């Protein structure tokens, strides 16, 4: 499982020119799944995201989590995180989990996040336009694998 985490001041996702999800201060998560991903990996990733200290404290030091700042999450499914472009110029997505298997994992991921924080999402598999006002800019790449 790969997640690109971006600290955001305000972000939204639209499908067919309609906003389907938006947040104010918080995190935008671009989320991709591969073949060995499961509920245990999702639980580890959710814990890491909720406790990742990338928000400024009173001294301007990144020492607070999204929970500490009462932020929100915008979660976007993104199979292209598993693009392999080692050969040629057209990426291969063979390592990305097919949609019928990734969708339930994505739903579980968002459900687990919603147990602790407000979460907005895009629409799985849709052609989405994502507007991210990256704060910092702060962008972190997280990956969890089966141990």
91: which 2 tokens? 């990426």
- Let me know if 79 is a catalytic residue: yes
Catalytic-residue membership of 80: yes
**Taking phi first (over 0 means left), then psi (-120 to 50 degrees means alpha), and beta for anything else, what does residue 70 get?**
left
Q: Which of 6, 34, 78, 121 is catalytic?
A: 78
| 34 is an active site residue | no
| Nearest Cα to Cα of residue 67 among 19, 101, 115, 21 | 115
- Of the residues 80, 111, 129, 145, only one is catalytic, namely 80
Catalytic residue among 33, 79, 109, 121: 79
Place of tokens 């989990």: 97
Q: Which residues are catalytic?
A: 78-80
């Amino acid at each position: 499982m790969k997640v690109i985490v971006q600290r955001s001041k305000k972000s939204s996702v639209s499908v067919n020119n309609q906003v389907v999800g938006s947040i104010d201060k918080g995190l935008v998560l671009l989320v991709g799944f591969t073949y060995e991903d499961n509920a245990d990996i999702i639980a580890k990733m959710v814990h890491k995201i909720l406790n990742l200290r990338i928000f400024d404290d009173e001294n301007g030091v990144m020492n607070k989590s999204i929970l500490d700042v009462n932020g929100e999450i915008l979660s976007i499914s993104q199979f292209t995180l598993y693009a392999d472009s080692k050969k040629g110029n057209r990426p291969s997505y063979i390592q990305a989990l097919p949609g019928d298997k990734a969708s339930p994992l994505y739903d579980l991921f968002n459900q687990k996040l919603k147990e602790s924080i407000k979460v907005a999402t895009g629409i799985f598999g849709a052609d989405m336009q994502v507007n991210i006002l990256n704060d910092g800019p702060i962008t972190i790449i997280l990956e969890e694998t089966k141990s």
